[in-house]
């Protein structure tokens, strides 16, 4: 399970699914940033995030609360997206597109307010996003892979497919260290977001 070479080899084989995750995410960014008809939906998504922020601010130690909420929110969602990809990959596809749409929408509304969107994103998104976004994309890539394996298994109802059981077993075994890597990256990202990003935005 924790054979470094085997895990790296498996990750290399995940490239098509990772590329697909990147494409879906950035498609969401474009749609969210350019489609006014989606504003109601995206505002409701942002309202949920705002509630989490307000909950953290009301805690006795806001900094710690923000860190914990960000970390557990991202870690739990990433784990769910990874393994619920078994539902033919629908969940990771939805997750990628919606989160991309939110990011694109935030950028557009920031520009509309006359603020320096590029600088705000440089300070508020890039420091933690450089870890968080690839981690989430990797979780979704594994979710897409899981969905592809389940889709392949439908064919075994009519025709036996040699090696499919081994593919499932390998996926499950390799998904554990991948998830640990994802969680570690999200832990570091949450720490940066709750400290450095907040400080940079306050300047």
Dihedral, CA atoms, 25, 29, 31, 37, nearest 10 degrees? 120
Range of the domain at 30: 4-202
pLDDT for 156: 60
Give the residue from 7, 13, 6 showing the smallest Cα distance to 177.
7
**57 Cβ neighbours under 8 A, 6+ residues apart:** 65, 66
d(CA 113, CA 56): 26
Per the structure, the count of domains in the chain is 1
At 65, is the pLDDT very low, low, confident or very high (cuts 50, 70, 90)? confident
Instruction: Find the range with the poorest average confidence among 40-54, 55-69, 139-153, 174-188.
Output: 55-69
Q: pLDDT tens for residues 157-203?
A: 555 566 788 899 999 999 999 999 999 999 999 999 989 988 888 87
d(CA 156, CA 167): 13
Judged against a pLDDT cut of 90, whether residue 141 lies above it is answered with yes
Rounded average pLDDT over 147-159? 77
Rounded average pLDDT over 74-92? 95
d(CA 77, CA 154): 27
Rounded average pLDDT over 6-22? 95
d(CA 26, CA 101): 8
């Amino acid at each position: 399970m924790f054979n470094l070479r085997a895990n790296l080899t498996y990750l290399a084989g995940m490239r098509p699914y990772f590329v697909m995750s990147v494409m879906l995410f950035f498609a969401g960014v474009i749609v969210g940033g350019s489609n006014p008809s989606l504003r109601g939906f995206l505002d409701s998504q942002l309202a949920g995030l705002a509630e989490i922020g307000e909950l953290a601010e009301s805690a006795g130690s806001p900094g710690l609360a923000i860190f914990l909420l960000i970390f557990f929110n991202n870690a739990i969602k990433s784990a769910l997206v990874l393994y619920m990809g078994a539902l033919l990959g629908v969940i990771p596809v939805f997750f990628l597109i919606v989160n991309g749409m939110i990011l694109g929408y935030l950028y557009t509304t920031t520009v509309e307010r006359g603020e320096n969107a590029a600088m705000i994103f440089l300070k508020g998104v890039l420091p933690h996003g450089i870890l968080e976004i690839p981690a989430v994309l990797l979780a979704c890539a594994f979710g897409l892979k899981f969905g592809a394996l389940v889709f392949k298994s439908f064919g075994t109802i009519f025709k036996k497919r040699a090696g499919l059981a081994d593919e499932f077993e390998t996926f499950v075994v390799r998904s554990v260290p991948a998830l640990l890597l994802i969680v570690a990256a999200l832990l570091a990202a949450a720490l940066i977001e709750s400290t450095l990003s907040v400080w940079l935005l306050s300047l």
